[in-house]
Amino acid sequence: MPVAGLLKRGQLDVLIQTLRARGYRVVGPRVKGGAIVYDEVSRADELPVGLVSVQQPGRYRLEDSANGRLFDYVHGPESLKRFLFAPQETLWTVAQNGEVSFKETLPEQRPLAVIGARACDLAGMEVQDRTFLKSQYNDFSDPYYATRRENLFIVAVNCTRSAATCFCASMNTGPRAREGYDIALTELEDSFLVEAGSAAGAAVLAELPLQPAREMETTQAAQAIEAAARSQTRRLDTTDIQALLFNNLEHPRWDDVAERCLSCANCTMVCPTCFCHRETDVASLDGKQSEHQRQWDSCFTLEHSYIHGAQIRPQIRQRYRQWLTHKLASWIEQFGVSGCVGCGRCITWCPTGIDLIEEVNAIRAQPEAKT
Amino acid sequence: MTGRLRIAVHKFASCDGCQIQFLNLEQDLLTLASRAEIAHFAEASSVMQPGPYDVSFVEGSISTSADLQRIQEIRAASRLLITIGACATAGGLQALRNWKNHDEFVRAIYARSEYIDSLARSTPVSEHVKVDAELWGCPIDQQQLKRVLSDVLARIAPRIPGESVCLECKRAGHVCVLVAGDVPCLGPVTRTGCGALCPRYERDCYGCFGPQEDGNTRALGRRFREMGLSDADIVRRLRFINGWAPAFRAGAQVWEK
């Protein structure tokens, strides 16, 4: 898509008001509990200013850089996942009043605009599309996901800064947003370079007070994104990764990581592509009605690997191995793409700071001898 | 099992808080009474009928020699036995005595210790009789209680999740206090069920729902050590309301001098 123009930083509110006037509920970055989360935004001056996130394995801090920029924070624990694949929702209800009646409870058709999605988030969404939408990988569309997807408007932000846990450049997913957005912003000195990624995005941009972008600004934007990519210190070597992991299923490193893994499931909760869930029925005490609920589950829970009277992955070692081999290897077989988009959230938000790149590197450095 | 269920609620060594959670069901308690016969519930009624019971809920730990006898009788009279709360399920706060000299406590506190019938250890019901399901928490959570009651009324096995508190935090969008604030939160090794009540208010979980199904208390202890907690601090975090639960017991043992 061609560059549409420049939007002064002080005029970002026009974008928010334009979206609101078009009926969108607008969410964007807000600070909660010491981190950036997505929450309702009604005015641009509600957005956090000048914050950067300092991320390390098992550690996240927001610091004030006092530079007045809006999107240097990179990201928080949440991705686009929660807006499409709801953490918990009722799929249908059943009532018994003389006769038994079922009712589907699809989400309401309410347009939602998300400001601040990153390239890794868009890549994560594209990966989840393969799970939840009808495609060559999947015979059915999940109507709950599909309804939200149709109603989602994305204002992406190209990263001009990386966190220490980021490795999107090595996964070919960022830091520039590739596809799936309606509008993309790149933050410059005192303005945003604005691009449309869809007809809906172009229509919104037509209502904004844009100035023409000169070559200087487009070059600056490209350089800033390139610099963010170069600043990434982590990279995941995916060379022959399927063979590497599946030839090393009894590698001693799995025991080593199991000593550090809490089996708390945080990595899977913050991962933008993890889609495991459980479905349960919640009946009222009078026995007259019941809700069929779906909620995020994880391959780290024992219930998830419970099949016909047995836990098939009773040890932490087996569950971590299941997660990592699926994420990085069998996902490719299943969906034609890696399950990892390089956002680094599983590294930052692991309470004991397990770094999946280090785990893969340890196996790669000393693979088991094949007999 | 057809017809109305006969339900009983029994009390052992406990503060009655979990029974109060029953009583606080209010309107739902009337619904329960319309579908089941509440045959024995000392906290609620002075009319206490003998067994057999279809379901016995048991609050409190086994703490006296009389308790040892009574829990056997209740088990024999009950088709299903479900423990409610940290005391019945893990021995409770009073299990802190299990690491100390019981006789010294008795002599120090009571003028006539020969009248005191107290066991040296406070233990969970499951150390004495078969338990069919366990509701954790100090106190138990009403939503979990209601689900177990509706499962029992529907004649299906009670479903009680065993996963960590972290899943609930992330579903609800609570920011991790451990990662973002270096707060020694026990959530990663603690069982869900409370609705992530403490992290919701940016407080650390202190493990009142007991150990999650298969967490790694040793690794979390090492993390706490890196955060600056002393060995004794780590022991105190794990050896609290559910200190006698095997996973917390083992996790604390690592750091004990």
In a domain, A326, yes or no: yes
Length of chain A: 371
**Pair A263, A197 in one domain:** no
Whether residues A279 and A174 fall in one domain? no
Tell me: do B83 and B147 sit in the same domain: yes
Out of A106-110, A149-153, A159-163, B93-97, which region has the weakest mean confidence (pLDDT)? A106-110
Q: A44 CA to chain B: closest CA distance, Å?
A: 22
Strands, E, within chain A: which ranges?
Answer: 3-8, 25-32, 35-40, 51-56, 59-64, 88-97, 99-104, 112-117, 152-158, 183-187, 191-196, 277-283, 289-296, 306-307, 310-311
Do A225 and A249 share a domain, yes or no? no
One domain for residues A164 and A207: yes
Which chain B residue's Cα is nearest to A304?
B163
Name the pLDDT band for B257 (thresholds 50, 70, 90). Answer: confident
What is the band of A188 on the pLDDT scale with cuts at 50, 70, 90? Answer: very high
Average pLDDT score, chain A: 96
Portion of chain B with pLDDT greater than 70, in percent: 99
* Closest-CA residue of chain B to A313: B214
* Number of domains, chain B: 2
In a domain, B95, yes or no: yes
Q: Are residues B218 and B109 in the same domain?
A: no
With an 8 Å Cβ cutoff, are A303 and B219 in contact?
no
Residue A203 shares a structural domain with residue A322 = no
Contacts of A257 in chain B (CB under 8 A): none
* Cα separations in angstroms, A194 against A27, A41, A183, A355: 19, 20, 7, 35
In a domain, A235, yes or no: no
Same-domain status, B235 and B123: no
Q: Residues B113, B228: one domain?
A: no
CA distance B104 to chain A (A): 38
> Does residue A217 surpass a pLDDT of 80?
yes
Q: Tell me what the mean pLDDT of segment A28-38 comes to.
A: 98
In a domain, B235, yes or no: yes
Claim to verify: residue A42 and residue A143 sit in the same structural domain? yes
| Residue at A371 is within a domain | no
Q: Alpha-carbon distance A100 to A124, whole Å?
A: 40
The burial of B65, by beta-carbon neighbours within 10 Å (0-12 exposed, 13-18 middle, 19 or more buried), is given as exposed
Is the CB of A270 inside 8 Å of chain B's CB atoms?
A: yes
Alpha-carbon distance B198 to B181, whole Å? 14
Tell me what the pLDDT averaged over chain B comes to: 96
- Residue pLDDT, tens place only, B101-117: 999 999 999 999 888 99
Confirm or reject contact between B170 and chain A (CB < 8 A): yes
Do B97 and B28 reside in the same domain of the chain? yes
| pLDDT at residue A71 in the model | 98
Cα distances (angstroms) measured from residue A69 to each of A159, A171, A186, A218: 12, 27, 11, 18
Q: Are A38 and A179 members of one domain?
A: yes
Is B91 found in the same domain as B42?
A: yes
CB contact under 8 A, A35 and B180: yes
Contact A352 B220 (CB under 8 A): yes
Residues B200 and B226 grouped into a single domain: yes
Q: Quick check: is B160 in a domain?
A: no
| B125 plus B169 within the same structural domain | no
Does the residue B159 lie in any domain? no
For A65-113, the pLDDT digits (tens) are 989 999 999 999 999 999 999 999 999 999 998 899 999 999 988 999 9
* Among candidate residues B153, B183, B212, the one where a domain is terminated: B153
Q: Residue A343 pLDDT more than 90?
A: yes
Q: What is the CA radius of gyration of chain A?
A: 22
Does residue B145 share a domain with residue B212? no
Q: Determine which of A262, A279, A318 to mutate to test the interface with B (most B C-beta atoms within 10 Å).
A: A262
Find the closest chain A residue to B151 by CA distance: A283
Residue B45's CATH number: 3.40.50.700
DSSP A2-43: -EEEEEEGGGHHHHHHHHHHTT-EEEEEEEETTEEEEEE-SS
Residue range(s) defining the domain that contains residue A302: 241-365
Query: How many angstroms separate the CA atoms of A272 and A254, rounded?
Result: 24
Q: Is the pLDDT of residue B77 over 80?
A: yes
Backbone φ and ψ of A348, nearest 5°? -60, -45
**Structural domain that includes position B96:** 5-153
Instruction: Please indicate whether, in this complex, the C-beta atoms of B202 and A263 are within 8 angstroms of each other.
Output: no
Distance (Å) from the C-alpha of residue B147 to the closest C-alpha of chain A?
7
Does some domain include residue A370? no
**In the 8-state DSSP scheme, what is residue A80?**
T
The per-residue pLDDT for range A304-341, each reduced to its tens digit, is 999 988 999 999 999 999 999 999 999 999 999 999 99
Sign of CA dihedral A268, A350, A343, A52: positive
| Boundary residue ending a domain (B98, B130, B153) | B153
Identify whether residues B79 and B44 lie together within a single domain.
yes
Do B102 and B212 lie in one domain? The reply is no
- Cα–Cα dist B185/B165, whole Å: 10
Report residue A88: phi and psi, to 5°: -155, 130
Residues 65-124 on A with a CB inside 8 Å of B are 76-78, 82, 87-88
Q: Which residue, of A230, A250, A270, is where some domain finishes?
A: A230
The pLDDT, as a whole number, for residue A85 is 98
Say if residues A290 and A284 touch (Cβ distance below 8 Å).
yes
Query: Is B204 among the domain residues?
Result: yes
Reported as a pLDDT band with limits 50, 70 and 90, residue A282 is very high
Alpha carbon distance A156, A125 (integer Å): 12
Tell me which of B118, B153, B188 is where a domain ends: B153
The answer to whether residues A163 and A62 belong to one domain is: yes
Model pLDDT, residue A16: 98
Taking the CA atoms of residue B93, residue B97, residue B102 and residue B104 in that order, the dihedral angle to the nearest 10 degrees is: -100
pLDDT classification of A194: cutoffs 50, 70, 90: very high
Confidence of residue A19 (pLDDT cuts 50, 70, 90): very high
| Ordered alpha helix ranges (H), chain B | 17-23, 27-35, 65-77, 85-90, 102-109, 142-153, 165-172, 177-181, 197-200, 217-226, 231-238, 246-253
Q: Is A192 exposed, middle or buried (0-12, 13-18, 19+ CB in 10 A)?
A: buried
Which of B244, B166, B167, B255 lies closest to B219 in space, CA to CA? B255
Rounded Cα gap, residues B212 and A298, in angstroms: 14
Mean pLDDT of A15-33: 98
Cβ distance of B167 and A284 shorter than 8 Å: no
Residues A213 and A324 in one domain: no
What would the mean pLDDT of B215-240 be, rounded to a whole number?
A: 97
The pLDDT assigned to B3 comes to 79
Look at residue B2 and tell me whether its pLDDT is greater than 90: no
Predicted confidence at residue A4, as pLDDT, reads: 79
The predicted model gives B13-26 an average pLDDT of 95
What is the pLDDT confidence band of residue A263, given thresholds at 50, 70 and 90? very high
Asked, for residue A351, whether it belongs to a domain, the answer is: yes
A to B CB pairs, distance under 8 Å: 135
pLDDT single digits (tens) A220-243: 999 999 999 999 999 999 999 999
Say whether both A182 and A267 belong to one domain.
no
Residues of A in contact with B172 (CB under 8 A): 87
Model confidence band, residue A177 (pLDDT cutoffs 50, 70, 90)? very high
**Residue B1 pLDDT more than 60?**
no
On whether both A147 and A247 belong to a single domain, the answer is no
Distance of CA B118 to the CA centre of its chain: 20
- pLDDT of amino acid A2: 66
Tens-place pLDDT, residues B108-162: 999 998 889 999 999 999 999 999 999 999 999 999 999 999 999 999 999 999 9
Instruction: Give the span between the Cα atoms of B246 and B146, in whole angstroms.
Output: 27
* Domain-ending residue, one of A201, A230, A259: A230
Number of domains in chain A: 2
Run of H or E residues at B133: strand B133-135
Let me know if residue A344 belongs to a domain.
Answer: yes
List, for residues B58-72, the tens digit of each pLDDT value: 999 999 999 999 999
- How far apart CA A76 and CA A62 sit, in angstroms, is 10
Give the per-residue pLDDT at B137: 98
Q: Is the pLDDT of residue A371 over 60?
A: no
Arithmetic mean of pLDDT, B196-201: 96
Q: Which of A179, A133, A173 is nearest to A156 (CA)?
A: A179
Tell whether A15 and A148 lie within a shared domain.
Answer: yes
* Closest-approach residue (CA) in chain B for A269: B170
**Domain end call among A186, A202, A230:** A230
Task: Looking at the structure, tell me whether residues B136 and B208 fall in a common domain.
Answer: no
